Amino acid sequence: MKVLIVEDERSMASEMEAFLKKAFYLCDLAYTAKQGLEKMEENEYNFILLDLGLPDKDGLLLLQEARKNCPDASCIILSARGQLEDRIRGLDLGADDYLPKPFSLLELQSRMQAVIRRKFGLQDSTILIGDFKVDLNKRLVTYNDDAEIELSKKEFDLLSYLLLHKNRPVTRMQLSEHIWGGFSDDDYDSNYIDVHIKNIRKKLSTWSSVEWLQTVRSVGYKVKI
């Protein structure tokens, strides 16, 4: 998943970036509201982590812009401003959570996972599909709660993204943007997304049918449940 970190304290921004990258998130950094807005206009994000005390604009004003430019992104406010009115206004403007500084990076990750569960209607971190169970937190795929199926990092990211967006066609461009962080004409010609999907099907079909992983002609792929 792709994350935009808008934080003017560079050491904190770098610390969050390093931590989230280890948790397999793709991260962009912005140190001002202007930089954050420019990145929102150019890219799609799954998460926006937003500091309120930015040097050039109140973060709450940027939050309003974020809701216009990245309507599908989940937003968590990170701020030393702990006044109740700021929390209420941030949530009213569309933030999904509010985490006061200082905070634990493990708590930040846990809150991000909770937002994902709420957003996609999950009871816990697992998704059942056919005879398979996909654990988003542990990054495991098992068959009948027993046999573990080994997927590469990119294969797991692709499968989990399609599962979270079940019954919706997902284009190759969307997959590339959210899984790889970018898309170019050279990438498109290389059909590497198709190769990864082929590998996923091959690995899973050894255990059970994967008819639910469908190709949408001239578009991309979808998981049909």
Domains of the chain: 2-119 (3.40.50.2300), 126-223 (1.10.10.10)
pTM of the model: 0.85
Between CA 197 and CA 162 the distance in angstroms is 11
CA 6 to chain centre: 16
What's the confidence (pLDDT) of residue 211?
Answer: 94
Question: Is-contact 52 7, C-beta < 8 A?
Answer: no
What average pLDDT does the segment 41-46 reach? Answer: 90
- Candidates 22, 42, 29; CA nearest to 3 is 29
**Span of 37-41, 54-58, 79-83, 204-208 with lowest mean pLDDT:** 79-83
Residue 90: both structure tokens together: 């941030």
- pLDDT of 187 higher than 50: no
- pLDDT of 184 higher than 90: no
CB environment 38-64: b (16+ within 10 A), e (fewer): ebbeebbbbbbbbbbebeeeebbebbe
Residue 202: both structure tokens together: 């091959």
Write out the E strands in 31-125.
Answer: 47-51, 74-79, 97-100
